[in-house]
Amino acid sequence: MIPLKIALRNIIKNRLRSLLTMLSIVVGTIAIVLTNGFISYSMWGLRESMIHNGIGHFQLYKKGYLEEQEKDPYEYTISDYKQVVKNLYRLQGVSYVAPRLMFQGILSNGENSAIVIGFGGWSEEEAKLNSFGTFEEGTFITDRDEYGVVIGSGLAKKLNAKVGNIFTLMATTRGGGFNAIDVEVKGIITLQVEEYNKTFMLAPLTLVQKLTDLNEGVDRLVVVLRNTDDTDRLKEDIKKICEKYDLEYKTWKDIATFYFQACSLYNAFFTTMMVIIVGVILFAIANTMSMSIYERFREIGTIRAIGAKRSKVVTQFLLEAVLLSVIGGVIGIIFGYIIAGAVNLSGGIYIPPPPGNARGYYAFIRPELIKIAQYWFVFILVSIIATLLPAYRAARMNIVDALRWI
């Protein structure tokens, strides 16, 4: 307890130098808190937007579909999907299950035509699955809209389509024939990924089954959980259901490869910034402690002359460095959270549309306290490392030379 008091008094005695050193730690900590909070929120937003823009947490297919879908996707449909859905709903943590039937076709009004890549699904589940989309016009289809469709904003622009317009939807059938159905545009939606908007269509499952001559069957079941963190926990249960019904599955981690590429980019940026901040703190503390030791040679000689061991001298300076980093870290974390709260209350930071995205978003700052504590611990270690060499040199100084120091 006494060495700690002495260390605190020495910090107060050299208050100006201590404040300048502490300032570098405070600024570095604030930068870490804000950057971590920004990256954490951005990655969470990207992950959830991909999951709730049609990917889901799990996708189940008929065994063989993933290998043969390019050749003949209609040969690998799940005919007993309603029974599978019932089993999936029994799993704890499942929010909803959306059966889907993917199709490719042409949408035309006689004057303009465009290729569509669409899905047939249950209206209520599809509304939830595409909840991160923004409607430019109209609304989602309902169970009453037997021939209603929702199209992407890019596709609507190609066709000059408006809500209420009638188009002819054409697609190949299961047997290789050709079929056409008149549909009505009920909504125009903008999804996060720009390319999807140019071809996206959503229609009732019964309409797509009729169009493709598949009276019963879907090509995938999209499972959405209440909490993304439950994905790994439910993998074994999903696997058992797949084995029971001769299915295979993919998780969102297998599908959303772009998310992990973005994570790698952000992590590389954060690591670079962390190295720079650690370097600044290292030199700041090393400089402060070197100057402090230089001015206190007679003090060191005195305590060594009355019997203090070299290890005690080193410990004393290490305690001062640790106190500087602890106090500076606490102040930095407090101010970091205050700034983050102010940004969040103001409505966040507007981020323009990233490459390949259709719209920008407002980013908030949500620091992860556990990670911030880890970075703070790194700062304390850096302070100890920066102090070790000058403290060791001071402890090895000749006592007589130290006492004669002016």
Most confident range, picked from 210-224, 263-277, 292-306, 331-345: 331-345
* Residue bearing the bigger pLDDT, 306 or 118: 118
372 occurs within a structural domain: yes
* Confidence band, pLDDT 50/70/90 cuts, at residue 397: low
Confidence of residue 214 (pLDDT cuts 50, 70, 90): confident
Helices (H), 51-161: 65-68, 81-89, 123-129, 153-159
For residues 234 and 267, the model is more confident at 234
Tokens representing residue 361 in the block: 């978003």
Assess if residue 59 is contained within a domain: no
- Does any domain span residue 254? no
Do 272 and 176 lie in a common domain?
no
> Quick one: pLDDT band at residue 307, thresholds 50, 70, 90?
low
User: How far apart are the C-alpha atoms of 146 and 284, rounded to whole Å?
Assistant: 70
- The strand pairing partners of 94, in sequence order, are 225
**Residue 228 DSSP label:** G
pLDDT at position 290: 72
**Are residues 195 and 236 both part of a single domain?**
yes
274 and 241 in a common domain: no
Residue 201: which pLDDT band, with cuts at 50, 70 and 90? very high
Same domain for 241 and 271, yes or no, is no
Distance between CA atoms of residues 165 and 149, nearest Å: 10
The CA distances from residue 363 to 257, 345, 371, 378, in Å, are 22, 12, 19, 27
Checking if the pLDDT of 58 tops 80, the result is: yes
Q: What is the rounded average pLDDT of the residues 278-286?
A: 78
Residues 190 and 74 in one domain: yes
Give me the pLDDT at residue 111, please: 83
Average pLDDT over residues 237-253: 92
Degrees to nearest 5, angle at CA 62 with 74 and 85: 110
Indicate whether 396 belongs to any domain.
yes
Q: Which pLDDT does position 275 carry in this prediction?
A: 84
Q: What percent of the chain clears pLDDT 90, i.e. is strictly above it?
A: 27
Q: Is residue 82 part of a domain?
A: yes
Q: Which of 88-92, 225-229, 271-275 has the lowest mean pLDDT?
A: 271-275
| Average pLDDT over every residue of 31-35 | 89
- CA 150 – CA 127 distance, rounded (Å): 11
pLDDT in tens, 295-304: 666 666 666 6
Residue 99 belongs to some domain of the structure: yes
* Residues 99 and 221: beta-carbon distance below 8 Å: yes
* Domain end marker among 216, 245, 274: 245
164 located within any domain:
yes
Task: Determine the pLDDT at residue 286.
Answer: 75
Lowest mean pLDDT among 103-107, 130-134, 335-339: 130-134
Residue 1 confidence (pLDDT): 57
On whether both 174 and 295 belong to a single domain, the answer is no
Q: Is the pLDDT of residue 345 over 70?
A: yes
- Which of 29-38, 44-53, 79-88, 276-285 is the least confident region? 276-285
Domain count, the chain: 2
> Does 236 share its domain with 371?
no
Average pLDDT over residues 25-47: 87
Pairing label, strands 148-152, 178-190:
parallel
Residues 204 and 352 placed together within one structural domain of the fold: no
Does pLDDT of 64 surpass 80? yes
Domain boundary among 186, 210, 245: 245
Residues 228 and 265 in one domain: no
Q: State whether 43 and 192 are in the same domain.
A: no
pLDDT of residue 402 exceeding 60, the answer is no
Who wins on pLDDT, 237 or 385?
237
Which of 245, 267, 283 terminates a domain? The answer is 245
| DSSP 8-state symbol, 353 | P
pLDDT at 342: 93
Q: Do 109 and 27 have their domain in common? A: no
- For residue 399, the model assigns a pLDDT of 65
Average pLDDT over residues 279-301: 72
Q: Are 115 and 234 in a shared domain?
A: yes
In the block, which residue shows the tokens 């016009």?
137
Q: Quick check: is 179 in a domain?
A: yes
What residues pair up with 135 in beta bridges, in sequence order? Answer: 189
Residue 74's pLDDT band, with cuts at 50, 70 and 90, is confident
Range of the domain at 18: 2-50+259-403
- Other Cβ atoms less than 10 A from the Cβ of 137: the count is 15
